[in-house]
Amino acid sequence: MGLIAESLTLNLITPFRIAHGPASARHNVFVQLEEGLGEGGLIPHYGHNLEETLAYLHSVEADTLLTNDPLVLADALDTIPPGPAPARAALDIALHDRWAKKLGYPLYRLWGLNPHHTPLSSRTLSIPEDEADLRRQLQAVKDWHVLKVKLGTGDLDIDEEILRLVHQESDARLCIDANGAWSVDEAAQIIPRLLPYNLLFIEQPISAEKFEAWQRLRRLLPAEVPPLIADESIQQPRDVSALAGLADGISIKLSKVGGLRPAQQMIALARTLGMQVLLSCTIESSLGITAAAHLAPLADYTDLDGHLDLVNDPFVGVNLEQGKLTLPQEPGLGVIRRLEQTG
């Protein structure tokens, strides 16, 4: 068996709304390299499309990735050619899965990580259509200990009212993600108003384009604000260095940065620079989520719930209950395919 690459259509139970727009489905890519499995999540606002991603994967020669010695992981990873980050992520994940399966251990064990150091995952609330929709979402997550609230409605008063209602109705710790929807002036206006909600962090408050905007935001904000976590602004290692001292932490998605190895590199760089780490996800199956979860002991925060909103998750992997991540004990990623429904 060489390289199998195909589309993976994931349908959502209910539409998921963020500042970039709503989604009812996501078209990701699935890769298999011998026994190694990988997934790349296509995030629409990052500009990658399914056609170009699959074309890249179909152009990759499996023999260049499947080195003579399957245990020499670094050499195999070095052969991944430049291309779309989600596609590179899928190949990187599949190679890690194959390597760990050959060695007979869960991936996190081969890295020497302690699964008991895994932080609780948040559960994300999408931007509600109305108050009834928000209350429905809150009812569904009533037992979770950490909630991430998507903001960026276009109206600061509505954004604050959403957070106020969540705070009023839930005992969970809260964090927010504006997905870059606020201007610098808007962020400087609303962030001080959110201090009474004791937020764990504020993710991507402003647009990702220019680091100068982060500098200006810092000058406008009071000294004591929740940690500011950069997401869309962080897509490669050099972005981490550029934001040191401006953002307090970075958000890492495997499909955004190109896989597990670049994620590890960015985590190490962030730690060197005194920055926090949020390990996050997009809409992915349990395959992509589980791959990220193997890195969870290295993170301060996790947001690995993207598979819980799916109608048709084709895989079984990491267990996630009320925010507690239980890493698999099986070799490799520990992900298996679900049996096809019949009858």
Shared domain check, 143 and 78: no
22-36, 38-52, 181-195, 255-269, range with the lowest pLDDT: 38-52
Residue 342 falls within a domain, yes or no?
Answer: no
Collect all residues with Cβ–Cβ distance below 8 Å to 47 and sequence separation of at least 6: none
Q: Are residues 273 and 291 in the same domain?
A: yes
At residue 1, the pLDDT reads 59
**Last residue of one domain, picked from the residues 42, 75, 104:** 104
**Is residue 24 situated within a structural domain?**
yes
Q: Does the residue 44 lie in any domain?
A: yes
Residue 292 shares a structural domain with residue 193: yes
Nearest to 259 by CA among 297, 230, 232, 288: 288
Secondary structure (DSSP) of 119-158: PPBPEEEPPPSSHHHHHHHHHHTTT-SEEEEE---S-HHH
Cα dist from 124 to 16, 148, 203, whole Å: 10, 5, 12
The number of domains in the chain is 2
Whether 133 and 80 map to the same domain: the answer is no
In a domain, 117, yes or no: yes
Residue written as token pair 């991430």: 148
Does residue 343 belong to any structural domain of this protein? no
pLDDT in tens, 255-287: 999 999 999 999 999 999 999 999 999 999 999
pLDDT digits over 111-123, tens only? Answer: 999 999 999 999 9
Are 135 and 148 contained in the same domain? yes
Domain final residue pick, 104, 123, 147: 104
- Assess whether 100 and 129 both reside in one domain: no
> Do 158 and 233 belong together in one domain?
yes
Domain end point (choices 83, 104, 125) = 104
Indicate if 94 and 116 belong to the same structural domain. no
The edge-to-edge listing of strands for the beta sheet with 3-18 is 3-18, 21-33, 36-40
Could you tell me which of 216, 176, 180, 215 has the C-alpha nearest to residue 197? 176
Same domain, 240 and 295: yes
Range of the domain at 17: 3-104
pTM: 0.95
Instruction: Indicate whether 342 pLDDT > 60.
Output: no
Q: Is residue 221 part of a domain?
A: yes
Summary mean pLDDT of the chain: 94
User: What pLDDT does residue 2 have?
Assistant: 80
